[in-house]
Amino acid sequence: MKRAAAERAVADVQDGMMVGLGTGTTAELAVEALARRLSERLRIVAVPTSERTRALAERLGVPLAPAGDWPCLDLVIDGADQVERGSLDLIKGLGGALLREKIVASAARRMIVIVDDSKIVDRLGGRSPLPVEIVAFGWRRTFERLADLGLQPRLRLASAQPFLSDGGNHIVDCHIGEIADARALEATLSGIVGVVETGLFLGLASTVVVGHSTGIEVMQR
């Protein structure tokens, strides 16, 4: 289902575009599909959202833009951990690259999200935690501020040590149930000193390509 959705999303890439490449297993399928299109003489320049994606793109021969030298992108293709039906608001960040993903998504004219139908929800939150990227320096104080808000934070670990994002930050996964007002929560979290970015991607996705067992569904905002 995800592979079919990735193929459909990559079909929107046109010659001469600058394209953002997301992070995670679903986004990697899009990178592979894009690399196959290069054999059709498609000319693009890509911007990866993580070192993992960069390594894959380089291995597959996808041309990459210099780091930071891309004021505007035509399109970004990425996955999501949750997609809210109707609004197409997202939760992202379980792959650990939410800061770079949001920078790239905010710089793009269009964002196409690839998911299977298990990621579509009526309201964000619930069974999926909300990742929040925080500065490593003084992280415990930031963590306590999140706990004081009742967000049930858990510091993400890797091999028994705090997980580090590509930017050198920690990630806290907040288990808060269904989110009644995502924009209010985003504003509250952004106001906490030490919070770098949240996994709430609000108003960024323009198209969501959903892989069902019976075929592909395209949702537009």
User: What are the residue numbers of the active site?
Assistant: 101
Q: Is 12 exposed, middle or buried (0-12, 13-18, 19+ CB in 10 A)?
A: middle
DSSP-based three-state secondary structure for 67: coil
Q: Which of 89, 96, 100 is nearest to 48 (CA)?
A: 100
CA distances from 54 to 27, 47, 62, 67, 129 (A): 12, 8, 9, 11, 26
Token digits for 214?
């019976």
- Whether the CB-CB separation of 170 and 177 falls below 8 Å is answered with no
Q: What's the rounded Cα separation, in Å, for the pair 192 and 179?
A: 18
The residues facing 46 across adjacent strands are 19, 64
Q: Which of 100, 107, 80, 87 is nearest to 209 (CA)?
A: 80
